[in-house]
């Protein structure tokens, strides 16, 4: 199975000059390409595959070389490289979310640390956390998970005066159990969502989200009869993958091309989307197209439900689409694009809270305005 | 008047005590006598805590302590009333608060009568403000024995009135009895120099003749004003002169805002200056800040709050506890008298109210075991820490949050002048960001001009316009930054008049509106419009055009009955038009203000 398709990734070297060739390839695409088994799991093969992409030009070669250098440099770095290697190890597991991989990597840092006081351990964790975040600066769930774990560590060291060894082992245990929390979160969200899925309804989904898949799977196992409309999800064709999964469960599926959303909205009863990140305004950042679907649903009075784990809550407050760090990915149009033509390559968009009806999280069913309250409770 | 009392209380806590003080003129000496009695008999205070029901005990000393203690809740800010205690006198005061609420309900149920009552009550109120002048002289002449007998009679009357008050307060007639009491006071203290006024008085008095006079007057004695103990002479003289001026002004007040205090501005400053050598009880630093407020030298929520706190710091530094009193009580009362004085010079903003509440909280929490110098040093450091953490560092954190929303080639719009917004522009300029600033201004204050000078001097590219042209400039704006005097629990932003209009235009154009506000300015009150709570400025300012005196077309119309000039100071902006609120706790949606208020309150106590 694939990792969370809604997880956004970013270019490690943002292209300052957009008019020169293709923007650098983001880690997001590399991960997805690997899970598609398009190339081997060797990172160098990734670079080679990137280099061999058409059109082959000096700019592309330079970008590929930069990517290769960036990939190699973490390995050559001792301590910092350790956390990156650990993160990549966990990231390859199909069931693990990116946030879980990050926390597992931080737990590994604690395990291998030689610090003798909580202060030293905090400093070491802070460095590892910053290194992880800078590795993929545009991944919101990665940043949110690191912040969440650091907050937990800070609270532990301040509020409980345990002996160092006991505290350290408890931190490791907590980090390692985070994977279970993630799986439990999905099940909790699936349970909460059943009240919203009624017999005979039609659900529109967008993007490949394991949480949404879990919701639909549980509804099907409860013998509810419903229909699912999947968007095609260009250029990754995530909708096709989603439709395969749903068809295997015996759920009636209809695939729409992305521009057919408004055409089909009148037969839709509700929209289910996942979230790459939930921001402080109550809005969500998700795969490109989510905002468009939410706008159409809102104008046609269809509810939009967001299924997201609480560890994806991030202290960000975008005001518009351009307010986020851009996350680029290559787009294959099937035919060569003429020279001089610009291509919008953003992988995700921001949906403001007024277009979302409810957030289904492991903390409960929340209105978008409560997200900020939860974040305040957590971080203040 | 029935509308005036509760609304005025919520807007500025000091106005109500002034009214009470005027109404209780015949009992002026009672608090002073109570204080003297407590000082002469220390053992009396020991007896009080031990007794279970002190009201029932006949000895005169114990009731004196009750009288002295029961006014304490009055000195607290109305925004956070203390829970009513089991004492009968406190319960009576609590009933009085409930009665005010009942008045409001009744007023809304009957729209026409309140207007009539207000127009009639305006005159008695004015008269009563002038009444206290003769009272102190009369009281001083009484002998000690006569004084004791008067106190005993007052206590008996208080008990009798407490029983009757329980019945009479439940009915709507309370309003009319209150008016009757005022007219009664007016008759009692009428003096020859005011012969011009009786012509207006008889209609009010004649309407109220059928009401009961004695029970209402006795009930008023239950809550003697504590402030008279500290600045008696000053307040009496000041109020007297104001009443003379207010009478002329009353005829031209705007009907919709009659419930807000309105003074003639021109005479306030010279009158206060002439009293400099008579204000023995007012600390010079507090007096100086009051003058600065009155003249407009200090303006803006942060500047006023810092100036007030620094003045209190100086006053605390020079303070010494009288040998017969405890520092906690005496200093709290002194701070209250300073606050009353400052309220006379300028209505309190919410930020100042929160700061005062913080200071009184710190005073109340002082350990009794601390020496006077230790207590004073502790209070001074608390004030310094409040200024540093809640204002200065908070501004820096707000700037660091807001800078993230400023990008190259942005066009930033701001309205009037806000210190934290100016800091944001300065800091963005220092970071080398290329942006342009649109300063929107409006008469009569034209605060944006000074801001414009400062920004241009720093090399920032600016556009200046007035608020009437805002719809033409808004299409090129990418962000709107606004300051705020306060943000209320429902997310409404209370700020300079015109702010709501700017935010509405920005919202219509799809431009994000960012409100920058320190957390200590947040308030748990809910307010839906700009009418129930606001501040009235000098109406004459509207009719004048600076540097063009020949354009005073309204010069001869100041007292025309058909013309009322309205100069409002504040706006209430609904939360729908706010995209983001930036505080030192981060960037928040307007719906999260109650959470910050709750967290801030908890942190407040923890400090």
Among B343, B358, B389, give the residue marking a domain's end.
B389
Q: What is the mean pLDDT of residues A65-79?
A: 38
Beta carbons of A33 and A51 less than 8 angstroms apart: no
Q: B326 and B411, same structural domain? A: no
Q: What is the mean pLDDT of residues B581-588?
A: 89
Domains: count for chain B: 2
Q: B319: domain CATH number? A: 1.20.120.420
Instruction: Check if B586 contacts A (Cβ < 8 Å).
Output: yes
More confident position, A351 or B108? A351
Lowest mean pLDDT among A93-97, A163-167, A204-208: A93-97
Q: What is the mean pLDDT of residues B323-332?
A: 82
Asked if A369's CB is within 8 angstroms of B586's CB, the reply is: no
B266 confidence band (pLDDT: 50, 70, 90) = low
Is residue A247 pLDDT above 70, yes or no? Answer: yes
Q: B584 and B484, same structural domain? A: yes
Q: B414 and B384, same structural domain? A: no
B374 falls within a domain: yes
Q: What is the mean pLDDT of residues A129-147?
A: 80
Q: What is the mean pLDDT of residues B108-133?
A: 35
B430 falls within a domain: yes
pLDDT of residue B557: 63
Q: Which of A323, A372, A379 sits opposite B589 (nearest CB)?
A: A372
Interface of B with A in 405-424 (CB under 8 A): 405, 407
B288 falls within a domain: yes
Asked if B580's CB is within 8 angstroms of A281's CB, the reply is: yes
Please give, rounded to a whole number of angstroms, the shortest distance from the CA of A369 to a CA of chain B: 6
A373 confidence band (pLDDT: 50, 70, 90) = confident
Among B364, B389, B414, give the residue marking a domain's end.
B389
Asked if B405's CB is within 8 angstroms of A379's CB, the reply is: no
Q: B446 and B353, same structural domain? A: no
B170 falls within a domain: no
Q: B455 and B382, same structural domain? A: no
Q: B359 and B287, same structural domain? A: yes
B97 falls within a domain: no
Q: Which of A322, A372, A377 sits opposite B588 (nearest CB)?
A: A372
CB pairs under 8 A between A and B: 45
Q: What is the CATH number of domain A196-331+343-377?
A: 3.40.50.10470
Q: Which residues of B touch A323 (CB under 8 A)?
A: 405
Is residue B546 pLDDT above 50, yes or no? Answer: yes
Asked if A369's CB is within 8 angstroms of B592's CB, the reply is: yes
Q: What is the mean pLDDT of residues A247-255?
A: 91
Q: B349 and B472, same structural domain? A: no
Is residue B603 pLDDT above 80, yes or no? Answer: no
Beta carbons of B566 and B500 less than 8 angstroms apart: no
User: If you average pLDDT over each of A1-15, A128-142, B68-82, B247-261, which comes out highest?
Assistant: A128-142
A15 confidence band (pLDDT: 50, 70, 90) = very low
Using CA coordinates, name the residue in chain B closest to A323: B405
**Interface residues of chain A, partner chain B, Cβ below 8 Å:** 280-282, 315, 317, 319-320, 322-323, 353, 369, 372-373, 375-377, 379-380
Q: What is the mean pLDDT of residues A59-84?
A: 42
Is residue B141 pLDDT above 90, yes or no? Answer: no
Please give, rounded to a whole number of angstroms, the shortest distance from the CA of A74 to a CA of chain B: 29
More confident position, B90 or A148? A148
Domain A79-184 has CATH 1.20.120.420: yes
More confident position, A343 or A22? A343
Q: Which of B512, B514, B585 sits opposite A380 (nearest CB)?
A: B585
B246 confidence band (pLDDT: 50, 70, 90) = very low
Asked if B596's CB is within 8 angstroms of A317's CB, the reply is: no
Residue range B448-459, pLDDT digits in tens: 999 998 899 989
Q: B430 and B313, same structural domain? A: no
Structural domain boundaries enclosing B580:
406-533+568-602
Among B389, B420, B455, give the residue marking a domain's end.
B389
B71 confidence band (pLDDT: 50, 70, 90) = very low
Asked if A317's CB is within 8 angstroms of B580's CB, the reply is: yes
Strands A284-287 and B493-496: unpaired
Residue range B159-213, pLDDT digits in tens: 665 655 544 434 333 343 333 334 333 433 333 333 333 333 333 333 333 333 3
pLDDT of residue B147: 61
Each domain of chain A, given as residue ranges in start order, spans: 79-184, 196-331+343-377
pLDDT of residue A335: 81
Q: B572 and B426, same structural domain? A: yes
Is residue A63 pLDDT above 50, yes or no? Answer: no
Q: Which residues of B touch A315 (CB under 8 A)?
A: 586
Lowest mean pLDDT among A237-241, B475-479, B483-487: A237-241
Q: B412 and B376, same structural domain? A: no
Q: Which residues of B touch A372 (CB under 8 A)?
A: 588-589, 591-592, 595
Beta carbons of B179 and B208 less than 8 angstroms apart: yes
More confident position, B522 or A95? B522
Tell me the average pLDDT of chain A. Answer: 74
What percent of chain B lies above the pLDDT cut of 90? Answer: 22
Q: Which of B407, B479, B592 sits opposite A372 (nearest CB)?
A: B592
Q: Which residues of B touch A318 (CB under 8 A)?
A: none
Lowest mean pLDDT among B274-278, B304-308, B469-473: B274-278
Asked if A379's CB is within 8 angstroms of B579's CB, the reply is: no
Please give, rounded to a whole number of angstroms, the shortest distance from the CA of B585 to a CA of chain A: 8
Is residue B307 pLDDT above 90, yes or no? Answer: yes
Interface of B with A in 445-504 (CB under 8 A): 479
More confident position, B102 or B309? B309
pLDDT of residue A214: 86
pLDDT of residue B375: 92
Tokens 């953490």 belong to residue: B389
pLDDT of residue B33: 36
Residue B116, classified by CB atoms within 10 Å of its CB into exposed (0-12), middle (13-18) or buried (19+), is exposed
Asked if A376's CB is within 8 angstroms of B592's CB, the reply is: yes
Asked if A372's CB is within 8 angstroms of B591's CB, the reply is: yes
Q: B360 and B272, same structural domain? A: yes
Please give, rounded to a whole number of angstroms, the shortest distance from the CA of B227 to a CA of chain A: 40
More confident position, B222 or B475? B475
More confident position, B27 or B310? B310
Q: What is the mean pLDDT of residues B41-64?
A: 38
pLDDT of residue B334: 83
Asked if B589's CB is within 8 angstroms of A282's CB, the reply is: yes
Instruction: Check if B592 contacts A (Cβ < 8 Å).
Output: yes
Q: B423: domain CATH number? A: 3.40.50.10470
Distance CA B123, CA B130 (A): 11
Q: B449 and B310, same structural domain? A: no
Mutate to test the interface with B, among A147, A314, A317 (most CBs of B within 10 A): A317
What HEC string does B288-340 produce?
HHHHHHHHCCCCCHHHHHHHHHHHHHHHHHCCCCCCCCCHHHHHHHHHHHHHH
CA proximity to B554, closest of B562, B281, B242, B33: B562
Asked if B585's CB is within 8 angstroms of A319's CB, the reply is: no
What percent of chain B lies above the pLDDT cut of 70? Answer: 52
B45 falls within a domain: no
pLDDT of residue B251: 41
More confident position, B335 or B544? B335
User: If you average pLDDT over each of B59-68, B105-114, B223-232, B279-288, which comes out highest?
Assistant: B279-288
Beta carbons of B571 and B495 less than 8 angstroms apart: yes
CA proximity to B57, closest of B71, B73, B44: B44
B1 falls within a domain: no
Instruction: Check if B595 contacts A (Cβ < 8 Å).
Output: yes
Beta carbons of A157 and A118 less than 8 angstroms apart: yes
pLDDT of residue B56: 42
Q: What is the mean pLDDT of residues B347-367?
A: 87
Q: What is the mean pLDDT of residues A175-186?
A: 75
């Amino acid at each position: 199975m694939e990792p969370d398709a809604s997880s956004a990734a970013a270019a490690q070297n943002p292209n300052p000059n957009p008019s020169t060739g293709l923007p650098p390839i983001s880690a997001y695409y590399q991960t997805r390409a690997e899970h598609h088994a398009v190339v081997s799991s060797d990172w160098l093969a990734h670079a080679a595959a990137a280099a061999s992409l058409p059109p082959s030009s000096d700019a592309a070669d330079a970008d590929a070389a930069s990517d290769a250098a960036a990939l190699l440099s973490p390995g050559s770095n001792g301590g910092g490289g350790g956390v990156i290697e650990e993160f990549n190890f966990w990231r390859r597991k199909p069931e693990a979310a990116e946030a879980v991989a990050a926390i597992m990597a931080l737990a590994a840092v604690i395990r291998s640390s030689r610090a003798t006081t909580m202060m030293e351990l905090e400093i070491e964790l802070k460095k590892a956390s910053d290194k992880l975040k800078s590795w993929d600066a545009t991944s919101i769930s990665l940043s949110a998970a690191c912040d969440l774990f650091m907050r937990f560590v800070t609270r532990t060291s301040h509020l409980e005066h345990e002996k160092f060894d006991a505290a350290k082992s408890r931190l490791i245990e907590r980090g390692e159990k985070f994977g279970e929390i993630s799986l439990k979160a999905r099940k909790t969200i699936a349970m909460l969502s059943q009240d919203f899925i009624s017999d005979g309804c039609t659900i529109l989904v967008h993007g490949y989200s394991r949480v949404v898949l879990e919701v639909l799977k549980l509804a099907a196992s409860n013998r509810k009869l419903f229909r699912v409309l999947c968007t095609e999800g260009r250029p990754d064709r995530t909708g096709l993958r989603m439709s395969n999964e749903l068809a295997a469960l015996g759920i009636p599926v209809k695939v729409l091309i992305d521009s057919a959303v408004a055409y089909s909205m009148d037969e839709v009863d509700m929209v289910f989307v996942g979230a790459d990140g939930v921001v402080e305004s109550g809005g969500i950042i998700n795969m490109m197209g989510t905002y468009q679907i939410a706008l159409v649903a809102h104008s046609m009075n269809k509810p939009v439900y967001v299924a997201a784990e609480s560890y994806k809550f991030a202290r960000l407050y975008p005001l518009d689409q351009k307010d986020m760090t851009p996350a680029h990915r290559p787009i294959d149009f099937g035919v060569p694009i003429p020279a001089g033509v610009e291509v919008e390559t953003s992988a995700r968009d921001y949906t403001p809270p007024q277009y979302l009806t409810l957030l289904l999280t492991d903390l409960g069913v929340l209105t978008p305005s409560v997200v900020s309250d939860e974040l305040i409770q957590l971080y203040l | 008047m029935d509308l005036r009392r509760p609304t005025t209380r919520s807007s500025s806590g000091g106005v109500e005590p002034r009214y009470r003080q005027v109404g209780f003129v015949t009992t002026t000496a009672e608090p002073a006598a109570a204080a003297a009695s407590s000082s002469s008999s220390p053992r009396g205070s020991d007896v009080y805590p031990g007794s279970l029901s002190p009201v029932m005990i006949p000895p005169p000393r114990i009731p004196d302590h009750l009288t002295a203690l029961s006014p304490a809740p009055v000195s607290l800010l109305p925004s956070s009333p203390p829970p009513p205690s089991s004492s009968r006198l406190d319960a009576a005061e609590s009933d009085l608060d409930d009665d005010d609420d009942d008045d409001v309900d009744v007023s809304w149920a009957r729209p026409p009568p309140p207007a009539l009552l207000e127009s009639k009550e305006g005159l008695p109120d004015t008269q009563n403000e002038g009444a206290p002048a003769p009272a102190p002289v009369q009281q001083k002449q009484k002998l000690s024995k006569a004084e004791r007998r008067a106190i005993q009679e007052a206590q008996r009357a208080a008990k009798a009135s407490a029983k009757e008050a329980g019945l009479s307060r439940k009915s709507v007639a309370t309003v009319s009895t209150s008016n009757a009491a005022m007219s009664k006071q007016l008759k009692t203290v009428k003096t020859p120099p005011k012969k011009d006024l009786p012509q207006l008085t008889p209609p009010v008095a004649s309407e109220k003749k059928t009401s009961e006079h004695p029970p209402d007057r006795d009930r008023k004695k239950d809550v003697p004003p504590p402030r008279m103990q500290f600045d008696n002479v000053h307040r009496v003289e000041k109020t007297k002169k104001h009443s003379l001026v207010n009478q002329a002004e009353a005829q031209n007040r705007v009907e919709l805002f009659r419930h807000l205090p309105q003074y003639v501005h021109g005479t306030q400053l010279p009158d206060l200056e002439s009293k400099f050598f008579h204000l023995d009880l007012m600390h010079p630093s507090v007096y100086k800040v009051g003058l600065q407020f009155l003249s407009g030298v200090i303006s803006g929520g942060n500047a006023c709050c810092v100036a007030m706190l620094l003045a209190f710091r100086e006053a605390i530094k020079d303070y010494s506890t009288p040998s017969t009193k405890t520092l906690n009580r005496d200093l709290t009362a002194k701070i209250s008298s300073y606050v009353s004085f400052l309220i006379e010079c300028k209505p309190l903003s919410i930020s100042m109210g929160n700061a005062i509440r913080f200071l009184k909280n710190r005073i109340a929490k002082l350990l009794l075991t601390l020496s006077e110098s230790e207590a004073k040093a502790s209070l001074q450091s608390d004030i310094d820490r409040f200024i540093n953490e809640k204002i200065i560092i908070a501004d820096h954190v707000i700037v660091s949050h807001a800078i993230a929303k400023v990008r190259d080639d942005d066009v930033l719009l701001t309205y009037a002048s806000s210190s934290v917004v100016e800091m944001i522009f300065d800091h963005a300029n220092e970071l080398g960001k290329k942006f342009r600033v649109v300063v929107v201004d409006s008469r009569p204050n034209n605060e944006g001009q000074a801001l414009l000078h400062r920004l241009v001097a720093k090399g920032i590219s600016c556009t200046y316009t007035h608020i009437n042209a805002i719809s033409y400039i808004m299409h090129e704006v990418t962000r709107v930054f606004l300051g705020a005097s306060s943000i209320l629990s429902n997310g409404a932003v209370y700020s300079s008049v015109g702010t709501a209009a700017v935010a509405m235009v920005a919202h219509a154009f799809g431009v994000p509106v960012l409100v920058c506000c320190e957390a200590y300015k947040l308030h748990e009150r809910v307010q839906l419009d700009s009418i129930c709570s606001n501040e009235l400025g000098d109406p004459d300012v509207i009719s004048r055009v600076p540097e063009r005196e020949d354009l005073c077309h309204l010069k001869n119309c100041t007292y025309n009955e058909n013309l009322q000039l309205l100069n409002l100071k504040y706006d209430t902006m609904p939360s729908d038009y706010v995209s983001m609120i930036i505080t030192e706790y981060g960037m928040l949606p307007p719906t999260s203000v109650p959470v910050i208020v709750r967290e801030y309150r908890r942190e407040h106590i923890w400090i």
